[in-house]
């Protein structure tokens, strides 16, 4: 099992190229199931989760090839299976994203019920309820979601809770449904908008993506197209926090500054000087220690839950006392236990972490538990004194392309060790 060995502290400086957004690439690749003609998807990040969904599509008979620029060519004109098996879905919950496209195009889908994960129960009741509202018969039997529909019918859906993949699944279901679908209380994440723009490129009729009310006019079929995935705002935010924690100066390029405004505001509050331009963000900490900042996660455009662990690490060494409240997931503080082992002064009270910044964290062997928690531990290792060994970094590889290479490019002392 691979580990990351990090020697700190060390000021980071230089330029990092941001990859395509994992959480846009996954629904977009699932959405290729809706089309009957070849599609090219560009700027796909080279990540374990992407490999998993490509394997899933290939198991269904979809032709997927990757060219030498890592562009993905997909031809779903001949889908032979409508099943997403447990052994794949359990490795990646986002496989649930094939449910909507399969029911919309073929009228049937058997998708393994994704279990919970380290950060929470992760129910999919809203995905199922939405398909039922569109006329599908959906049952859960033997751990599978079994959905059948002659043709989905457009309807008015109001989400009880803002759900990113729930919005994406039902958006994809709606594009081939009969008539108009209104999705209210929809997720406004940039990745939802990117999926909508991709579907429009294929001929879908969608208005309001990026707002909380999306209106879809169903069409008979979707054609082919050529689409470039937007930059990963969470990857960009993670590298900016790395520089803020080490007093350094970093420029992230091939980024989308307007998709992480809430994070940039908090980094400025922490004392960073931030400038942005077309496709780039520069953070300069000028050797200063960050100031502690209060965080409350919430759906976009508010502060993203996927940046919560990274800011726990920043606040752990910041000047002052701060609170971080997690409102999206019920168990997303597992990184706190590991940060405490590195000397962080953090108290958990319900869904709030109370953090008293310490001058310096001490290196320690730590264990990654989920994707963003592991990012938080890597950041802590960069700022801590000594050698931090982060175990179970398969979690990191799910969401960060070549993390040790990108960090080494900006001066980090980090290497992957295989035990």
Interface stretch with ligand EPZ, choices 53-61, 64-72, 116-124, 279-287 (CB under 6 A): 116-124
Q: Does 329 bind ligand EPZ (CB under 6 A)?
A: yes
CB 36 within 8 A of CB 77: yes
Collapsing DSSP to helix, strand or coil, 416 comes out as strand
Collapsing DSSP to helix, strand or coil, 34 comes out as helix
| Phi, psi dihedral angles at 269 (to 5 degrees) | -60, -30
| Phi, psi dihedral angles at 133 (to 5 degrees) | -65, -25
Q: Does 122 bind ligand EPZ (CB under 6 A)?
A: yes
At its nearest, how many Å lie between ligand EPZ and the CB of residue 234? 7
At its nearest, how many Å lie between ligand EPZ and the CB of residue 325? 14
Q: Which is nearer to ligand EPZ, 74 or 164 (CB)?
A: 164
Interface stretch with ligand EPZ, choices 60-68, 82-90, 145-153, 156-164 (CB under 6 A): 156-164
Binding-site member from 9, 31, 190, 399 for ligand EPZ (CB under 6 A): 399
Binding-site member from 95, 163, 181, 238 for ligand EPZ (CB under 6 A): 163
Q: Does 94 bind ligand EPZ (CB under 6 A)?
A: yes
- Supply 390's token pair: 């982060």
CB atoms within 10 A of CB 160: 10
Q: Does 301 bind ligand EPZ (CB under 6 A)?
A: no
Interface stretch with ligand EPZ, choices 64-72, 125-133, 211-219, 403-411 (CB under 6 A): 125-133
Q: Does 95 bind ligand EPZ (CB under 6 A)?
A: no
CA end-to-end span of the chain: 6
Collapsing DSSP to helix, strand or coil, 350 comes out as coil
Q: Which is nearer to ligand EPZ, 52 or 163 (CB)?
A: 163
Q: Which is nearer to ligand EPZ, 364 or 396 (CB)?
A: 396
Q: How many CA atoms lie within 13 A of 408 on its CB side?
A: 10
For CA atoms 380, 122, 197, 32, the dihedral sign is: positive
Fill in the per-residue mask, 266 to 285: x = in contact with ligand EPZ (CB under 6 A), - = not in contact: --------------------
User: By CB neighbour count within 10 A (0-12 exposed, 13-18 middle, 19+ buried), where does 344 fall?
Assistant: buried
Residue 205 parent element (H or E): strand 205-207
Binding-site member from 43, 52, 197, 305 for ligand EPZ (CB under 6 A): 305
Q: Which is nearer to ligand EPZ, 129 or 358 (CB)?
A: 129
Binding-site member from 9, 19, 20, 23 for ligand EPZ (CB under 6 A): 23
CB 237 within 8 A of CB 307: yes
Binding-site member from 65, 77, 139, 161 for ligand EPZ (CB under 6 A): 161
- Supply 240's token pair: 């900016």
Scan for tokens 């062997």, then name that residue: 365
CB atoms within 10 A of CB 339: 29
Q: Does 246 bind ligand EPZ (CB under 6 A)?
A: no
- Supply 210's token pair: 């990026």
At its nearest, how many Å lie between ligand EPZ and the CB of residue 9? 26
Q: Does 26 bind ligand EPZ (CB under 6 A)?
A: yes
Of the candidates 104, 108, 84, the one whose C-alpha atom is nearest the C-alpha of residue 94 is: 84
Collapsing DSSP to helix, strand or coil, 50 comes out as helix
Q: Give the contacts of 134 (CB within 8 A, at least 6 positions apart).
A: 149, 152, 153, 154, 155, 157, 170, 173, 174, 177, 181
Interface stretch with ligand EPZ, choices 164-172, 273-281, 378-386, 401-409 (CB under 6 A): 164-172
Interface stretch with ligand EPZ, choices 57-65, 69-77, 160-168, 334-342 (CB under 6 A): 160-168
Which residues ranging from 338 to 357 are in contact with ligand EPZ (CB under 6 A)? none
Q: Which is nearer to ligand EPZ, 53 or 363 (CB)?
A: 53
Residues that bind ligand EPZ (CB under 6 A): 22-23, 26, 94, 120, 122-127, 161, 163-166, 305-306, 328-329, 371-372, 399
């Amino acid at each position: 099992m691979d580990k990351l060995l990090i020697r700190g502290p060390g000021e980071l400086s230089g330029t990092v190229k941001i990859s395509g957004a994992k959480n846009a690439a996954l629904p977009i690749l699932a959405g290729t199931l809706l089309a009957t003609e070849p599609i090219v998807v560009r700027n796909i990040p080279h990540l374990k989760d992407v490999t998993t969904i490509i394997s899933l599509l290939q198991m269904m008979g979809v032709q997927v090839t990757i060219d030498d620029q890592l562009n993905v060519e997909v031809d779903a004109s001949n889908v032979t299976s409508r099943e997403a098996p447990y052994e794949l879905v359990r490795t990646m919950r986002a496989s649930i994203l094939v449910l909507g496209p399969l029911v919309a195009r073929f009228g049937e889908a058997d998708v393994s019920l994704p279990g919970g994960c380290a950060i929470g129960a992760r129910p999919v009741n809203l995905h199922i309820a939405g398909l039922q509202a569109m006329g599908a018969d959906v049952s859960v039997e033997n751990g599978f979601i079994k959905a059948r529909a002659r043709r989905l019918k457009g309807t008015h859906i109001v989400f009880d809770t803002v759900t990113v993949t729930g919005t994406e699944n039902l958006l994809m279901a709606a594009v081939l449904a009969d008539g108009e679908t209104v999705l209210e209380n929809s997720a406004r994440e940039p990745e939802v908008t990117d999926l909508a723009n991709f579907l429009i490129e294929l001929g879908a009729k969608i208005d309001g993506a990026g707002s909380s009310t999306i209106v879809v006019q169903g069409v008979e079929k979707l054609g082919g197209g050529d689409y470039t995935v937007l930059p990963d705002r969470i990857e960009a935010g993670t590298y900016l926090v790395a520089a803020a924690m080490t007093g350094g100066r970093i420029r992230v390029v091939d980024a989308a500054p307007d998709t992480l405004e809430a994070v940039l505001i908090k980094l400025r509050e922490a004392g960073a000087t931030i400038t942005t331009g077309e496709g780039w963000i520069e953070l300069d900490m000028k050797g200063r220690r960050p100031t502690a900042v209060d965080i409350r996660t919430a759906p976009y455009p508010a502060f993203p839950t996927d940046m919560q662990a990274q800011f726990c690490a920043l606040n752990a060494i910041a000047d002052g006392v701060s609170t971080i409240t997690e409102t999206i997931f019920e168990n997303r503080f597992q990184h706190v236990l590991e940060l405490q082992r590195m000397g962080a002064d953090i108290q958990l009270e319900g869904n709030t972490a109370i953090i008293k910044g310490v001058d310096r964290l001490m290196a320690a062997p730590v264990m990654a538990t989920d994707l963003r928690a592991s990012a938080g531990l890597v950041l802590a290792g960069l700022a801590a004194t000594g050698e931090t060994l982060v175990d179970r970094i398969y979690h990191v590889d799910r969401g960060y392309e070549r993390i040790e290479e990108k960090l080494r490019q900006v001066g980090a002392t980090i290497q992957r060790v295989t035990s």
